[in-house]
A and B are shown apart, each in its own frame.
Chain A
């Protein structure tokens, strides 16, 4: 609204001068705030916006020694190269599927955990479970993947050990492409489910107890209460979290995939960001890597906007 008014004002020449004056005054009045904001601004300009302009090298034949401006324009060469390469579909599929599995299996877990915790009345037990289940969230990806690799080793890992006890053949999980996604998703749930439940627990405590009492008076069973009171109560939180998760489908974490993958599992493990790292940084194809970067960015923007739009239509909850 404000901006609309401002633009109407600007169309009137007489008021333009006045608005400039008030603007300068406002600037002067907020100079200390602006000073406080300055480091932040510098950071965002340097490390967030400058790179966006750097995306221009994806349309050039970037040569490190010549610099951005002296490099030749090549138009869409690298995009064409990417879309036509066999890597494209594979990367898209891998990134997308990994992200989707992560949401499909990773999203419900914190909700379930929170609902269960909510049923627990022994405060001490509840606190204990919470404390323990939050811990993995603070453990680095390097440690988590290191643990996964060690525990899944078919010769010495504890999983192989249990397999043997059960009379099964040990499986070499880490070099089998079909196991990559399950391993990744399970590790992710292990890491973040506990922490993710915090938000729902908070939402649960915010539900008005009178709603439950009313339901009880109406003779609703615990199960019915769950569906008619509890779930609707945490629905907004769920929608927001789901949106955020969907927004990250394409933008799935680089670190863990990078650490967990190996050439034997590229077939299912290689995603956009690991590809960019390999192609762009380790092989020095900066322009090509950047083209993939930009493509990833655009797709993930589309994802989040769509998710947000759909959600606003369907449930009245949205990120913006």
Chain B
């Protein structure tokens, strides 16, 4: 309590700290504000570099062009499918595996744990993995975005740590009711772990949403491209947006607003959903930090 009294003083160090934190916040927020502003601004202002914080000559033409682009929609749909199918699948496999690993009585428990932890420090590398994925016939298929990266060892270990912390009594009551381990897992453990499952599920979802690597390595068919690839093609490989992206004159939309609009369109869902899910993410990071 002594401390609180002392800290109420508005000292110079505390002022500096507050300023520093404000600077951090500004550095995080500003790029987004800037991108949104440019994407909404009129050409004249963009050309003269007059946008620094707020949009000028507000219009939505860049967004009209971007949203008319079929590639954006196709890839959006693909990404949603990858996330929608991949995340639950990963979650299920991870939870089941982690549960088994949390049971000391499972045969080979030690071997399996070692085997899994080892992959965190050493792996076959890009090309051997590519060849395996290829020989499984996954290259250029829907599943190449889901299966080769289905389990994150980190998440698996977090889950296992969590399951280790569950009270044994719960499961024993299940055993008395004549449930097998699978039954206990499905009927007792899973319902009790919804918060952790949500956390890990979200990590998987974000991972798949942001996954560019798998698409780069395994996908050639543009009908399967996830959002990240299309985004990269438009923003960095200068593949223009359809329907007017390459016009000059009356219908011209400048390069920067177009690219910024593309970035915003593909990032907004994440930014909108994030504040509501933040507590789960934080929780996940904390489970991970508990040494287990």
Contacts and interface: CB of A to CB of B under 8 A. Distances in A.
The reply to whether A and B meet directly (CB within 8 Å) is: yes
Contact of B236 (A33, A135, A146, A300): A146
A121 B278 contact: no
Interface residues of A, number: 99
Contacts, number: 268
A304 B121 contact: yes
A37 B101 contact: yes
Interface SS of B by simple majority: helix
Nearest to B108: A34
A106 interface: no
A68 to B, nearest CB: 8
Contact of B18 (A27, A37, A120, A149): A120
A271 to B, nearest CB: 12
A296 to B, nearest CB: 7
Most buried by A among B22, B94, B106: B106
A294 interface: yes
Interface string B1-35: 01110111000011001101110110111010011
A156 B99 CA distance: 53
A99 interface: no
A134 B125 CA distance: 30
A290 interface: yes
Interface in B14-69: 14, 17-18, 20-22, 24-25, 27-29, 31, 34-35, 46, 49, 52
Interface residues of B, number: 95
Given A43-B151, A44-B116, A140 B236 contact: no
B200 interface: no
Contact of A138 (B8, B133, B232, B270): B270
Contact of B126 (A259, A281, A320): A281
Interface of A: 2-3, 23, 26-27, 29-30, 32-37, 39-41, 43-44, 46-55, 57, 68, 113, 116-117, 119-121, 125, 128-129, 131-136, 138-143, 145-147, 149-151, 156, 158, 161, 164, 190, 193-195, 198-199, 202-203, 209, 212-213, 216, 222, 237, 240, 247, 254-255, 258-259, 273, 276-277, 280-281, 286, 289-290, 293-294, 296-298, 300-301, 304-305, 320
